[in-house]
């Protein structure tokens, strides 16, 4: 579903969006528009640029076969085609991969990818081995549930760069309250 800055479905808006944000299916859509008082989509709208945010909905075991191809071609492409004109497509994290795949099948005005994974072999062999061990540990439970819980995904990210995780929170804690 596409959501406008007002939280409504974009297809119900008077003007189709000029910019479509595609979050990772791992995160809730508000990861790209977290605060109503400091809203990226609201700011864009205030500057004459209508935008919409893809909401993938809640992942359930029935979605276990929804790979990146499915998300791009069966879910995102129909949303974009309903808009009826090329948009600026902005993907975040795995949403960038999905946006890039969709942009291969439909005309877009531009494609922007933020924090999109690309060159996985760039991680040191030790980190990849730790990630493999972590997955081997969690895989039976994930298969039994029919999905990979957010906590397991986060554990995977932490395994790839544990020092960066700590650094991120230390920097955040040192920021002024405002």
- Which tens digits make up the pLDDT trace of 24-58? 887 777 777 777 777 888 888 888 888 999 998 87
The answer to whether the CB of 113 falls within 8 A of the CB of 91 is yes
CA-based nearest residue to 67, from 131, 148, 3, 128:
148
DSSP helix/strand/coil, 57: coil
Element (H, E) at 112: strand 110-114
The answer to whether the CB of 102 falls within 8 A of the CB of 20 is no
Q: Measure the CA angle with vertex 27, ends 106 and 109; round to 5°.
A: 25
At 140, list the tokens: 């039976």
DSSP assignment of 25-63, as one string? TTS-GGGGS--GGG-HHHHHHHTT--EEEE------GGG
Sort strands 51-54 and 2-4 into parallel, antiparallel or unpaired: antiparallel
Q: Is the pLDDT of residue 63 over 60?
A: yes
pLDDT of residue 107: 95
Cα dihedral across residues 131, 136, 141, 147: positive or negative: positive
Q: SS3 breakdown of the chain: % helix, strand, coil, rounded to 5?
A: 55, 10, 35
Domains and CATH numbers, the chain: 2-114 (3.40.50.1820), 121-174 (no CATH)
The percent of residues in the chain predicted with pLDDT above 70, rounded, is: 94
User: What's the pTM value of the predicted model, to 2 decimals?
Assistant: 0.76
Q: Is the pLDDT of residue 8 over 60?
A: no
């Amino acid at each position: 579903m596409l959501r406008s800055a007002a939280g409504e479905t974009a297809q119900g808006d008077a003007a189709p969006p000029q910019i479509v944000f595609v979050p990772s299916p791992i995160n809730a859509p508000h990861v790209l528009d977290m605060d109503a008082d400091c809203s990226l989509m609201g700011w864009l709208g205030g500057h004459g640029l209508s935008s919409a945010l893809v909401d993938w909905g809640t992942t359930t075991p029935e979605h276990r076969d929804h790979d990146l191809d499915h998300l791009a071609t069966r879910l995102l492409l129909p949303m974009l085609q309903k808009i009826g004109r090329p948009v600026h497509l902005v993907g975040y994290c795995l949403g960038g991969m999905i946006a890039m795949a969709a942009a291969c099948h439909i005309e877009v005005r531009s494609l922007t990818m933020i924090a999109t994974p690309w060159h996985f072999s760039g991680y040191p062999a030790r980190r990849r081995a730790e990630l493999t061990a972590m997955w081997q540990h969690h895989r039976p439970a994930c298969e039994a549930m029919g999905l990979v819980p957010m906590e397991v995904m986060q554990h995977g990210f932490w395994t790839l760069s544990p020092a960066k995780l700590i650094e991120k929170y230390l920097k955040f804690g040192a920021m002024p309250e405002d």
